[in-house]
Amino acid sequence: MSSDTLLKVEHLSMRFGGLMAISDLSFEARRGEITALIGPNGAGKTTVFNCITGFYKPTMGMITLTRKTGKQHLLERLPDFRITREAKVARTFQNIRLFSGLTVLENLLVAQHNELMRASGYTILGLLGIGAYNRASAAAIERAKHWLERADLIDRADDPAGDLSYGAQRRLEIARAMCTGPELLCLDEPAAGLNPRESLALNGLLQGIRAETGTSFLLIEHDMSVVMEISDHVVVLEYGQKISDGTPEHVKNDPKVIAAYLGVEDEEVEAVIATVEGGIL
Ligand SMILES: Nc1ncnc2c1ncn2[C@@H]1O[C@H](COP(=O)(O)OP(=O)(O)OP(=O)(O)O)[C@@H](O)[C@H]1O
């Protein structure tokens, strides 16, 4: 494993009854990079996320996360709450999952609930505001305000999250995940349903977070303008197997990837490439 490898997935397989959703998949994501996981519908992208974040226990394989400190965590062996707390992996979902009746600020405070409870020592006196809880509570509010500023949502802090536009809700989900201080943030289709202006704002937000915090991203995305614009590294899946792995430029021109997206047989790819000029995906 090279020294800047953050996530190493080795021989990952996931079976659902008779269906092999992921088959012997291996890839790496490097620290400080944006790695995109792409592929046609049903290729297994969300299943990979679910294995990394502990929602599913893989049928086979190893998933190693190496923190900045050098400490390694075998994610396939950890329950999901320890993956968040100890391995510092956070995620967002394909379908937005906010508390729509709570305010924007409250959504970010709820995300920090576990840390606040630990600071309270799980006692009534702690909760009533003695020492550590008070300090942790002030820090949680500061952290929430910081990420609301970064996500351009500070003016909406007291509005119910459900009142935000779709694009703003997506940014709020990212701000909420950032409040947990992740080293790896897994984003499941963050640009889905966004208009071009909102997509641009999302690109800026992700690149800004990376520059400011060094957080690494693993991204599932169908919007190729987002993938090609912001990814350092792209892994392509088809039917649960890796068919390409490299720079955006490399995968964009890989005949296997073109074939997978166009749904043509391998032998037809050369003919397709000959008729299509660039920007194929
Ligand atoms: N819990 C489950 N039980 C049974 N089959 C599942 C389960 N989760 C996923 N699958 C199947 O595994 C395959 C991969 O699904 P997955 O959602 O990972 O694909 P995807 O690449 O994320 O697709 P999309 O781009 O449409 O979101 C699909 O055939 C899906 O039906």
Q: Say yes or no: 114 and 172 in one domain.
A: yes
Nearest protein Cα to ligand 1, atom 5: 16
Residues 181-196 have a mean pLDDT of: 91
Average pLDDT, the chain: 86
13, 45, 236, 238: which to mutate for ligand 1, most atoms within 8 A of CB?
A: 45
Q: What is the pLDDT of residues 67-123, one digit of tens each?
A: 999 999 999 999 998 999 899 999 987 777 788 788 999 898 887 766 655 655 556
Residue 260: the pLDDT is 82
16, 23, 25, 59: which to mutate for ligand 1, most atoms within 8 A of CB?
A: 16
Q: Say yes or no: 8 and 126 in one domain.
A: no
- pTM across the whole model: 0.85
Q: Say yes or no: 61 and 108 in one domain.
A: no
Question: Which range is most confident: 59-73, 114-128, 185-199, 247-261?
Answer: 59-73
Nearest protein Cα to ligand 1, atom 3: 16
Residue 136: the pLDDT is 66
Atom of ligand 1 nearest to the CA of 94: 27
More confident residue, 208 or 118: 208
More confident residue, 210 or 131: 210
Q: What is the CATH number of the domain that holds 58?
A: 3.40.50.300
Q: Which residues line ligand 1 at a C-beta cut-off of 6 Å? A: 16, 19, 21, 39, 41-47
Nearest protein Cα to ligand 1, atom 23: 42
Scanning the chain, the segments in alpha helix (DSSP H) are 45-52, 80-85, 104-110, 113-120, 124-127, 132-150, 166-178, 196-213, 224-230, 248-252, 255-262, 269-275
* Distance between Cα 64 and ligand 1 center (Å): 23
Nearest protein Cα to ligand 1, atom 12: 21
* Distance between Cα 240 and ligand 1 center (Å): 9
Helix axes 196-213, 166-178, angle to 10 degrees: 10
Structural domain for 108, as ranges? 99-180
Tokens 């701000």 correspond to what residue?
Answer: 175
With a cut of 70, say whether residue 281 has pLDDT above it: no
Residues in the chain: 281
* Distance between Cα 241 and ligand 1 center (Å): 13
Q: pLDDT category, 183, cuts 50, 70, 90? A: very high
Asked if residue 211 is part of any domain, the answer here is yes
Residues 222-237 have a mean pLDDT of: 90
Q: What would the DSSP string read from start to end of 128-188?
A: TT-THHHHHHHHHHHHHHHHHHHTT-GGGTTSBGGGS-HHHHHHHHHHHHHTT--SEEEEE
Q: Say yes or no: 194 and 226 in one domain.
A: yes
More confident residue, 3 or 134: 134
Q: Which distant-in-sequence residues (6+ apart) come within 8 Å of 27 by Cβ? A: 9, 235, 242, 245
Residue 60: in which H helix or E strand, if any?
Answer: strand 60-66
Tokens of 20: 């092999």
Closest CA to 239 of 221, 220, 263, 212: 263
**Which of 135, 161, 180 is a domain's end point?**
180
